[in-house]
Amino acid sequence: MTAVARLLEPLTPRVAPADPVAFAAMQRDRQASSIAWLIAAVLAAQHTALAALAALPGTAGGAAWPWAAIAVLVSLAMLGAGAAQLVLLVRADRGRAPVAATIGTLAAFGALLAPLSGFLMIAAGMLHVLAPLGAMGFAIALLALDPRMRPGVRRPVGAVLVGAAGAVAMLLWGVIDALVLLPLTLAPGMALGEIYAALGAAREDGGVWVPLAWAGLWLLAIVLLSLGLLRSRRGGRAALGMLLAVPVVALLALPLAEFSIGMGVSDTVASQGGMSSGYPALVLIVTLLAATAAALLISARRGTTPS
């Protein structure tokens, strides 16, 4: 079996087993898989809608549309995967129809709210502060677990290192987007030093600390989560999937973290506001991370291959 086949095996439909216990386990897996794909799709849809703002005139213009279009396709693919799992769930057991209908309705509602993502981002301001705190709480709970509860399971050192590095890299990209790419996009023709000199002279540079504070909170959450995953000896796929999911959630708040500095630049140089030219590319990577994290977590749950 090739490496690609081994990767896809846990994600492909399986023949319904005759054994009732095995059948029930397969149905639980299908339900969990559908939820994972649909949550990832809804989060990706919110990101994609925000990226579409960067394709409007006055920001990145038409150059941003290809990035946003690919992100839309990835989001639709995840919606399709989640819906397919729900169909398989109901075809195998009609009694699961109410549960499947509830899951599908919630996912559709979340996806349809994507055009309002800018408003929702502002309305959920406190949730963006609570999200890293919630991640820290989960990490502390993992740290409190006795590793002897999972005998024979090795610490997923490699997966944690890769996942943490990827999550931190995405945070760093977000900070660069906020402090470098956004000012350069909003003030074309000016050097970065000139922009910040003008902001300082106009006393409009107070927004610089916001993306730094946002990144600092999530960086602490990543460190604690990495330590918790090592101590609790989660499987490699589960650990990697959890860590790659962190920037998917964290970067939802990036436009909000950029708001103050964006307004400062716009007011100082009298330019039209908007997103940075690099934001759609960032969103595409986040969308791909959402798909990867969902696939890893589904694969880890099925456990058909060693972690």
Nearest to 178 by CA among 257, 281, 274: 257
Position 227 pLDDT exceeds 70: yes
* Cβ 223 vs Cβ 237: under 8 Å: no
Position 15 pLDDT exceeds 90: no
The mean per-residue pLDDT over the stretch 55-69 comes to 62
Position 242 pLDDT exceeds 70: yes
Query: What does the pLDDT read at residue 206?
Result: 78
**Among 70-79, 204-213, 295-304, whose mean pLDDT is lowest?**
295-304
The token duo for 148 is: 């002897």
Query: What does the pLDDT read at residue 250?
Result: 95
Query: What does the pLDDT read at residue 5?
Result: 59
Query: What does the pLDDT read at residue 176?
Result: 96
The mean per-residue pLDDT over the stretch 212-231 comes to 95
Cα(227)–Cα(231) distance, rounded to whole angstroms? 6
More confident residue, 11 or 271: 271
Of all helices (H) and strands (E), which one includes residue 286?
helix 279-302
Cα(180)–Cα(202) distance, rounded to whole angstroms? 18
Query: What percent of the chain has a predicted confidence (pLDDT) above 90?
Result: 44
**What digits encode the pLDDT tens for the residues 121-166?**
777 777 887 899 999 999 999 888 766 666 667 888 899 999 999 9
Question: Rounded to two decimals, what is the model's pTM?
Answer: 0.86
